[in-house]
């Protein structure tokens, strides 16, 4: 067993884990943060996307010990004071949530994009979400929601 210490959604955690544990397993099975979805487990679908030290990562591919000392944001950590993040609001408004399986990864990818590029082009949005697969929406609603969130967030700055 090894010990890892990390910050998840602004809360400090120290966990004893098997060295083979992935960040996805740590989040879901050890800490109960089940918003991060288990999908393909080979880094292809994006359902397990989280933000780690300012970058989106597929948590199924990250050995948990490599996250030691990192700052992680999961879908549970983006709402504030009981109010949805503007990206979450836009996903609901633009009907970009269907089955919901891809939604956490899509939302976190969009949040990270807008944190780094507050006025993205459609191409920027497509590129930022390229690692996330959706089987329900056809993507256009998702792209429109991210664009709308960008405009909403701009008006609040």
Question: How many residues are there in the chain?
Answer: 157
**Helix 103-116 and helix 140-155, axial crossing angle in degrees, nearest 10:** 40
Residue 99 and residue 150 in one domain: yes
CATH classification at residue 62:
3.10.20.30
Nearest partner of 68 among 12, 106, 128, 30, judged by Cα: 12
Residue 70 and residue 103 in one domain: no
Residue 91 and residue 70 in one domain: no
Whether residue 87 contacts residue 150, with contact meaning beta carbons closer than 8 Å, is answered with no
Q: Which domain holds residue 65?
A: 2-75
Cα–Cα distance measured from residue 124 to residue 140, given in angstroms and rounded to the nearest whole number: 14
Whether residue 50 contacts residue 72, with contact meaning beta carbons closer than 8 Å, is answered with yes
Question: Helix (H) and strand (E) counts for the chain?
Answer: 5, 5
Whether residue 63 contacts residue 26, with contact meaning beta carbons closer than 8 Å, is answered with no
**Helix 103-116 and helix 86-93, axial crossing angle in degrees, nearest 10:** 130
Residue 62 and residue 98 in one domain: no
Alpha helix stretches (DSSP H) within 6-139: 23-25, 86-93, 103-116, 122-128
133 torsion bin: left (phi>0), alpha (psi -120 to 50), beta (else) = beta
pLDDT tens per residue across all 157 residues of the chain: 999 999 999 999 999 999 999 999 999 999 999 999 999 999 999 999 999 999 999 999 999 999 999 999 999 999 999 999 999 999 999 999 989 899 999 999 999 999 999 999 999 999 999 999 998 888 999 999 999 999 988 876 5
| 115-138 pLDDT tens trace | 999 999 999 999 999 999 998 888
The residues that bridge with 12 in the sheet, in sequence order, are 7
Residue 81, domain member (yes or no): no
| 96-107 pLDDT tens trace | 998 989 999 999
Residue 80, domain member (yes or no): no
Beta-carbon contacts of 121 under 8 Å, excluding residues fewer than 6 positions away, are none
The residues that bridge with 14 in the sheet, in sequence order, are 5
């Amino acid at each position: 067993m090894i010990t890892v210490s990390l910050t998840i959604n602004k809360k400090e955690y120290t966990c004893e884990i098997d060295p083979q544990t992935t960040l996805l397993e740590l989040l879901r099975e050890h800490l109960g943060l089940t918003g991060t979805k288990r999908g393909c487990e080979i880094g292809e679908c994006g359902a397990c996307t989280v933000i780690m030290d300012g970058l989106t990562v597929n948590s199924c591919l990250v050995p948990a010990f490599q996250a030691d000392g990192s700052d992680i944001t999961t879908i549970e950590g983006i709402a504030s004071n009981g109010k949805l993040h503007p990206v979450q609001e836009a996903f609901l408004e633009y009907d970009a949530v269907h089955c919901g399986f891809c939604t956490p990864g899509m939302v976190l990818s969009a949040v990270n994009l807008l944190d780094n590029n507050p006025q993205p082009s459609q191409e920027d949005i497509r590129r930022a979400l390229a690692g996330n697969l959706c089987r329900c929406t056809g993507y256009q609603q998702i792209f429109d929601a991210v664009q709308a969130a960008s405009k909403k967030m701009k008006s609040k700055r």
